[in-house]
Copies of this chain bind each other. A is one copy, B any other.
Amino acid sequence: MAEIQSLARGLKILNLLEQARDGMGTTEVAKEMTIDKSSASRLLHTLANYDYVVQDDSSARYQLGPRLLTLGQRVLDRISLRDRARPFLDKLVDATGECAHLAILAQRQALYIDQVESSAALRVESEIGTLSPLHCTALGKAMLAFGDGAMPDSLRPFTQRTITDQAVLQAQLLQIRQRGYAIDDEEYNYGVRCVAAAVHDHRGLLLGAIGISGPAGRVTLERIDDFGALVRQVAGDLSAKLGFVAGC
């Protein structure tokens, strides 16, 4: 499978710009990619011609362009699961007072495709579009448990509690299948606990997962199983609405 080099380079530049907080200059891009300034310049111009990047008027630095926003939104629109799931996310927020999320599998990670905030006052940056590892998030583990059996390649630790042993993970996935919900007990971010359950389509295939997340102070270990039962119930209702018949 031969790659088209210049296209690949262009896409790599977009990946670079994603990281850069406030843009990158031509020379900077060239250095990072270990290509010549002139090549970087021409690639960036081509990207700019199609609005995939924009150059700041004053600083002449390049940033990701509005075209990506448009295209990204198209990806979202195509995921009808998102529309169907929204009322169920609202339900979770109403019942728990915590944030609710919807994710699907993409690039062997959990791709957040919707989010409902618990309080409009406390507004955080949207996590929609972000990718998270599967082995240490509730949404991810719920999808692993009911997925096609493919395991993540590496169990990278993020906190002290992150599961790094395949056997331990396998055991927990079995438990998740039995209980119907997955828990992330500060395994990804300190001070944050999450509960999630898988969503299935009419053929029983895994579609994604929904869940809630909140500060460990509110989502306590005493309450977490109640939350689990709730999330499992709501995820089941959603699956049912999508035509999934439990026990099939």
Chain A interfacial positions (CB closer than 8 Å to B): 1-12, 14-15, 18, 42-43, 45-47, 49-52, 54, 63-78, 83, 86, 90, 106-107, 111, 113, 120, 123, 125-126, 128-131
Contacts and interface: CB of A to CB of B under 8 A. Distances in A.
Contacts of A11: 10, 46-47, 50, 52
A207 B76 CA distance: 26
Q: Which DSSP category, helix, strand, loop or mixed, fits chain A's interface?
A: helix
13 contacts: A5-B6, A6-B7, A7-B7, A11-B52, A66-B106, A66-B111, A68-B74, A69-B128, A69-B129, A70-B129, A71-B72, A83-B123, A83-B125
A7 B76 contact: no
Kindly report how many copies of this chain are found in the complex they form together.
2
Contact of A18 (B3, B71, B107): B71
The 10 A-B pairs at the shortest CB distance, nearest first, are namely A72-B72, A73-B129, A66-B106, A7-B10, A69-B72, A68-B71, A11-B50, A69-B75, A4-B46, A70-B129
Given A64-B75, A66-B106, A68-B75, 11 more contacts: A1-B45, A4-B42, A6-B6, A10-B10, A14-B71, A51-B106, A69-B111, A70-B111, A70-B131, A83-B123, A83-B125
